[in-house]
Amino acid sequence: MKKILCMCISVCLCAAMFGSCTENEPDSSVSKAETSSSSQAAADESSVPESESRAESSSAPESKPEESASSTADPGPDDTADITPAMWTVSDDEGHEITLLGSMHALTADDYPLPNEIMDRYNSADILAVECDIQSEESVQMSFAILKDAYYNDGTTLKDHISEEGYEALKKYLEGTAYDISMLEKMKAWAVDSLVEEVGLQLSGLEADKGIDGYLLTLAHESGKQIYEAESVEFQMDMLLGFSDEIYDFLFRSLEDYTPQDTADQLTDMHEAWRTGDFEALDDSEEEELEDLSDDDLAIYDEYNKQMLVDRNAGMEECIKELLSEGKNVFFVVGAAHYIGDDGILALLEKDGYKVERVEYK
């Protein structure tokens, strides 16, 4: 369940899909006008361009984003805030320093206002660095453009792309939810997986439009603070669409003996660990579950983990090193899962000789 910590899934996409999949066909009414609506998206290029090409001055977009955490919570810091998400400073030999914050992309209104330690560091930074700017015009447009690739158009159906075991596990998981398996037959595996995630998220009470990345991005757009994308819309989009059928089949088969409420409970536990900065709980590497995997499934899991976390962690570390070398004053916010473990950002930075220190909340 680390996925929600490190990847943005478009809520607008899920909503649009639900409206169209009830007819078992893509909704042809999705028009250019709809692409101007606000949404969250996930995507980026596999290569990591120079910082000059990633960093851009972020003036407020023509159309304001949908109501987010900033409209439901006091944007200022709070002496009484009771959340203490894991946060670090990383510095090089020349004394350059960047603040790193582990984010969770779906939170609740009770997580706001944010504590002084977070807001003071955000306010003092010249640049907000995120995985990708989910409020940019490009992101908004792509979150709707992706609908064109949500359905099989070659005469095949979901059953043709995943195993019978995966299909039955998915069918059982969705029983009693708004998404009957019969509604999803023509949807591609990646789109079905996004909807599966949304089912558990809704039950958990967590809300994607209150994620801390979106909250800080709203503030940055409103104030004109510079925004740096460690990845990009295209990269995350390519990753989402690029996972093999074997990977999605593995994810669906992993739902066996699980219910949406089980998923919601896991998300609730993860949320509490994030709120309290319990990095050991977030660092639960699911070793017990991996022990039961066959060699074939373990190979699939390793490939998924490599694409989802390991490779991206290395790219994000390169971004941090580049920003440090340029002496940039940056508040760097990416999913908490990217900092975890031997292949996480923190371990990579320390291995390369950088000093990493945990920020203590007062």
Ranges of H-type helices in 205-344:
212-223, 233-242, 245-253, 260-276, 279-282, 287-291, 295-305, 311-325
Alpha carbons 50 and 69: distance in angstroms, whole number: 31
pLDDT in tens, 90-133: 999 999 999 999 999 899 999 999 999 999 999 999 999 999 99
pLDDT in tens, 119-170: 999 999 999 999 999 888 877 777 777 777 889 999 999 999 999 999 999 9
Give the predicted TM-score (pTM) of the model: 0.81
**Closest to 8 (Cα-Cα) out of 78, 91, 107:** 107
pLDDT in tens, 66-99: 444 444 344 455 555 689 999 999 999 999 999 9
The three-class DSSP label of residue 46 is coil
Mean pLDDT calculated for residue range 19-35: 38
Question: Which residues does residue 162 pair with via DSSP β-bridges, in sequence order?
Answer: none
**Strands of the chain, DSSP E:** 55-56, 87-91, 97-103, 127-130, 226-229, 330-335, 355-358
